[in-house]
């Protein structure tokens, strides 16, 4: 990730040097003054960086800005690399999946208090005053910094607004990137990402499009919205454009990925074997890998093994969930289940695309 961000910083630095140098050129300096004096220009700046998250007409969302920037690298520039050949496409899919793992691991600060406070302190000192859009954000920071609990579900939800603004769209970005990586390597059609164009302007107003458009043979065009719960938005777009929209996701509507370990409550990443199969487009319709058949199994010591079955969760209750196997390996209930199991219980999930079953790949 650091190499990608380094290039973004170099591009920004390049533009900054060009702009600063040309300030000595009077026509350029005068044009710069006119730009800065445009009405409501400061409001536009909050769409480039904002010190927190606030709803409403004059709201802002740092998490969306950070997420858009990362998605721009992959879906706005990465395709120039991907189309250069099959090796580049395979590498591009690997980059997307490893980047997704990094985004998943960022979310560990929701349960790791020490890591969360380390990050909070680094952001506050490294960014300074712009890290807080107002006094309210500063107060929210102090409250979160003093909180020693987890932020999962309803636990710690009073801190969620500011916490949500720290990371790039949190885990919400991961399904969008994984859907994209599925679409570009399979034969569903040509993919038009609209992740950075979530307001289509025209006729003095706007409409909100789905996350992707899918262009298929026989003049077929479908919209694809990642996730569920946006029926009104989808209906509005379809009414205006006559383009049907389907909900898609990773995993299933009932159990969307990524999964959270029921014991440590951290999110579960995708293993190297799964990434390799996806990059080579050899995953087919597989939903999971049987870890006991993998060369990296290491007698159950591989950190990527997921146990799917009964175990005692973080609260001590016996539940059928997905767990890091290393988190529950010593659980007597797990040993019982594995001994009697007729289907694989030690697995690694594939980022299986759902929602396009009735469309299918083109031949």
Reading the chain (363 residues) residue by residue, the pLDDT tens digits are 899 999 999 999 999 999 999 999 999 999 999 999 999 999 999 999 999 999 888 899 999 999 999 999 999 999 999 999 999 999 999 999 999 999 999 999 999 999 999 999 999 999 999 999 999 999 999 999 999 999 999 999 999 999 999 999 887 899 999 999 999 999 999 999 999 998 999 988 999 999 999 999 988 999 999 998 888 888 899 999 999 999 999 999 999 999 999 999 999 999 999 999 999 999 998 999 999 999 999 999 999 999 999 999 999 999 999 999 999 999 999 999 999 999 999 999 999 999 998 888 887
Domain coordinates of the chain in residue numbers?
Answer: 2-14+60-171, 172-250, 272-354
Can you say whether the dihedral through the CA atoms of 172, 178, 181, 187 is positive or negative? negative
Neighbour tally for 358: CB within 10 Å: 6
Angle at CA of residue 54, ends 156 and 39, nearest 5°:
165
Helix ranges, 22-112 (H): 26-36, 41-45, 62-71, 78-82, 86-106
In 3-state terms the chain splits into helix, strand, coil percentages (rounded to 5) of 50, 15, 35
Sheet-wide strand order for 212-215? 190-193, 212-215, 221-226, 245-250, 353-354
Q: Could you tell me which CATH class the domain 172-250 is placed in?
A: alpha beta
String of b and e for 87-105 (b: at least 16 CB within 10 Å)?
A: eebbebbbbbbebbbebbe
| Phi/psi of residue 301, nearest 5 degrees | -95, -5
> Which two three-digit tokens encode residue 29?
């300096």
User: Distance between CA 288 and CA 283 in Å, rounded?
Assistant: 9
Closest CA to 344 of 303, 271, 292, 300: 292
Residue 161: name the closest of 180, 185, 144, 186 by CA.
144
């Amino acid at each position: 990730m650091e190499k990608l961000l380094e290039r973004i910083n170099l591009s920004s630095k390049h533009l900054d040097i060009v702009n600063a140098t040309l300030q000595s050129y009077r026509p350029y300096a005068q044009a710069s003054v006119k730009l800065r004096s445009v009405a409501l220009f400061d409001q536009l700046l909050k769409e480039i960086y904002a010190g927190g998250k606030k709803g409403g007409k004059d709201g802002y969302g740092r998490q969306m800005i950070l997420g858009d920037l990362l998605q721009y690298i992959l879906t706005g520039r990465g395709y120039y690399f991907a189309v250069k050949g099959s090796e580049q496409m395979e590498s591009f899919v690997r980059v997307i999946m490893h980047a997704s793992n990094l985004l998943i691991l960022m979310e560990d600060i929701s349960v790791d208090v020490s890591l969360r406070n380390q990050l909070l302190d680094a952001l506050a000192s490294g960014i300074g005053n712009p890290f807080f859009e107002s006094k309210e954000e500063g107060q929210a920071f102090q409250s979160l910094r003093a909180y020693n609990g987890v932020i999962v579900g309803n636990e710690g939800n009073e801190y969620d607004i500011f916490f949500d603004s720290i990371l790039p769209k949190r885990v919400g970005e991961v399904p969008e990137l994984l859907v994209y990586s599925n679409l570009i390597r399979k034969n569903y059609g040509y993919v038009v990402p609209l992740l950075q164009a979530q307001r289509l302007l025209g006729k003095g107003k706007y409409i909100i499009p789905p996350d992707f458009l899918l262009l298929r043979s026989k003049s077929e065009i479908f919209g694809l919205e990642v996730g569920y719960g946006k029926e009104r938005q989808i209906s509005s777009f379809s009414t205006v454009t006559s383009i049907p929209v389907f909900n898609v996701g990773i995993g299933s509507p009932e159990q969307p990925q990524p999964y959270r370990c029921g014991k440590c409550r951290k999110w579960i990443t995708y293993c190297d074997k799964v990434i390799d199969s996806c990059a080579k487009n050899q995953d087919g319709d597989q939903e999971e890998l049987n870890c006991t058949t993998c060369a990296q199994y290491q007698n159950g010591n591989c950190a990527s093994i997921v146990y799917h079955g009964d175990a005692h969760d973080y609260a001590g209750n016996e539940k059928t969930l997905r767990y890091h196997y290393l988190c529950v390996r010593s659980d007597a209930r797990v040993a019982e289940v594995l001994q009697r199991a007729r289907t694989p219980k030690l697995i690694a999930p594939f980022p299986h695309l759902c929602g396009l079953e009735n469309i299918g790949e083109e031949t």
